[in-house]
Structure 1
């Protein structure tokens, strides 16, 4: 038998590399003092428990897609829409239960024809979306992906519910990922993702789906709003985020001390600091944006990145650890080496992107 003829070398698996970043929050600001006028609370009580001073909310007639389009446009500014052939929107507050929000966002950004889908992993949505985008690029289904985390929690939180109205805000953050080499600055990964559906009722909107339909006159008003069991969520969030972060560090063969910046889901300041403490990371390495925007769900990590980049806190070559926890329950972590990027527009600044 003649010797086997060696075939061509297997193609290198491309990595997802960050090449664009943008964030946007609506202009309407709700301060702690504003909330105190309608709720039994005050600025000191809110800041002591959450670290939040203010949050931004959408106005009448606005929706999650409006937030996503503005952030997406800013992220595309450095590379252009021709670099993207897939759009992923991570959100808990889609414009409609059907269809997904991503195709509309893609069309409004001039990306009609691109693959487009939503990711529903609540506050872990951006990390799940980042892993999904990396998979699209690694499998060569897409050359470039626009990933947007966008949430309008003001549309699902009872404005008279002191426990939750003080926490959440609206906003969107976006990144553009291109195919590249795993060793170059901007490369994302590895990732760790997990879930535990036995605790689905810990964070939920009870009505509105096929399990519990929203029936006029028969659905309890409270079932139409977001609800969570705060103390249990705090315990699970800290435990799951820290464990997931350790898993990803082990996969990468590095330690917490190798991390330059910690970019967790911006749930509240106490959770952020508790996770950092659990990992042995100095609190000053924790990127925080929650003080001025509140918990923005799937938008919170990319908004924190956009804010830090605008303030020039991040240096090319810095190693970032991302981790998140959300309803489902879901959790996830990933690593990112910071690339050279133009400083983005600060998320709170309004500009030409204000026009949908």
Structure 2
């Protein structure tokens, strides 16, 4: 529920991507594939990959966060809370505090939120609740992932999909609430369809005591199951969110989906009866950047002038967990 006089406005966006591009043709030198094969099945033409010792998860996240603050006209010291949605932190204890320090957001509490490709949407909803409760007035939400760290570059089923990047938005307390509705879901029974799993390597300490000293394995995915899950559950949750918000789908200006696969984007739009020219897409240039996809495509559309203040956006994130969610909001400050 929204407290009287305490709504949420999304007042700025930003993004950052690594400088190095990896094209489909270059990938064909690593695995048996081709530009035509990848584009026809995914819609992806290239992706960005972070260079070791040059670009970190924290540096990309901080750059995206600073860009969002600049767009909102805010100093970092005005931020009360930083939520970093990531599944690929530089430090397993969390990278949000590194981002806070890099930004100089000395007044902000910062923590990581892990929900894979649903992470940014879940973090945005979480940040909104802190504002609605009256606890904080300014929240910086960042989605960032460096999946190149955990991609099996010999597996053509997965290595063609993923890229690195970061995106961010600023949420601020507002008299007029612009977050009109949201829904979030999880189904752990489908967890095995998409994993970045820990694999233990037992190590004996004493005769009757062992510990695990393993590592994480590359991303593994059952692509067919994830596709079936997405094209069924995403339209459903978007319809529920719109219904509960009392909004007709014809009034939606933009459909903003996690950039997993162009076929999924097209199928969801078709099932909702939304024209494809109202579906935001940039995965041809970046691939699937996990929690970064939604804010990255949002920021590009804002900077290109496609999204204008007051535009109604229906967004959905979905992926590992399996998890999925939706949010309906108006862009910018609207009186």
The normalised TM-score by structure 2 is: 0.92
Report the CA distance between 1:215 and its aligned residue: 6.1
2:195 to 204, 212, 232: 204
Alignment equivalent of 2:310, drawn from 308, 317, 331: 317
| Contact 1:13–1:139, Cα closer than 8 Å, also in 2 | no
8 Å Cα contact 1:13/1:138 also seen in 2: no
Where structure 2 has 5 or more consecutive residues not aligned to the other structure, the ranges are 204-211
Structure 1, unaligned stretches of length 5 or more?
A: 1-9, 342-356
Q: Is 1:336–2:329 an aligned residue pair?
A: yes
Q: Give the superposition deviation at 1:287.
A: 0.4
Q: In structure 1, what is the equivalent of residue 141 of structure 2?
A: 147
Q: 1:24-46: per-residue Cα shift (whole Å, max 9, x none)?
A: 11110000001011110000000
2:17 alignment partner, one of 25, 40, 59: 25
- In structure 1, the residue matched to 2:42 is 50
The aligned counterpart of 2:174 is 180
Contact 1:15 1:180 in 2 (8 A): yes
The residue that corresponds to 2:200 in the other structure is 213
Name the structure 2 match of 1:35.
27
Instruction: Point out 4+ residue stretches in structure 1 off by more than 4 angstroms.
Output: 218-221
Aligned to 2:77: 82
CA distance in 1, matches of 2:171, 2:322: 27
Secondary structure, in 3 states, of the residue corresponding to 1:243? Answer: helix
1:308 corresponds in structure 2 to 301
Q: For the residues of structure 2 that align with 1:196 and 1:240, how far apart are their CA atoms? A: 11
Determine helix, strand or coil for the equivalent of 1:163. coil
Is 2:259 the partner of 1:266? yes
Query: What does residue 96 of structure 1 align with?
Result: 91
The answer as to whether partners of 2:38 and 2:45 remain within 8 angstroms in 1 is yes
Pairwise CA distance, 1:340: 5.8
Per-residue deviation at 1:82? 2.9
Does the CA contact (< 8 Å) of 2:79 and 2:107 recur in 1? no
- Is 1:232 aligned to 2:225, yes or no? yes
Which residue does the alignment assign to 1:69?
62
**Counterpart contact for 1:83–1:178, Cα < 8 Å:** no
Aligned to 2:305, what secondary structure does the other structure show? coil
Greater share of strand: 2
Return the offset for 1:63: 2.2
Instruction: Describe the SS at the equivalent of 1:322.
Output: strand
Cα separation, 2, equivalents of 1:73 and 1:142: 19
Distance 1:118 1:331 in 2: 18
* CA displacement at 1:213 relative to structure 2: 3.0
Task: Report the Cα distance in structure 2 between the residues aligned to 1:11 and 1:46, rounded to whole angstroms.
Answer: 48
- State the SS of the aligned residue for 1:171: strand
- The alignment status of 1:246 with 2:239, answered yes or no, reads yes
Q: C-alpha separation between the residues in 1 aligned to 2:138 and 2:174?
A: 10
Aligned residues: 322
- The verdict on how the C-alpha distance between 1:154 and 1:215 changes in structure 2, with shifts beyond 3 A counting, is farther
Q: Distance in 2 between matches of 1:182 and 1:127?
A: 21
Which whole-Å deviations, capped at 9, do the CAs of 1:215-271 have from their partners, x for residues lacking one? Answer: 69x9999x6101010000000011111111011100111121110100000001101
Using structure 1 for the length normalisation, give the TM-score: 0.87
| Structure 2 counterpart of 1:348 | none
- 1:349 is matched with which residue? none
Cα deviations by residue, 1:182-238 (Å, 9 ceiling, x for unpaired): 34xxx223110000011111111121xxxx43569x9999x6101010000000011
Indicate if the aligned counterparts of 1:319 and 1:337 stay in contact, CA closer than 8 A: yes
Q: Aligned to 2:158, what secondary structure does the other structure show? A: helix
Task: Kindly state the Cα deviation for residue 318 of structure 1 after the two structures are TM-superposed.
Answer: 1.1
Matched, 1:285 2:285: no
Q: CA deviation at 1:11?
A: 6.2
1:66 to partner: Cα distance: 1.4
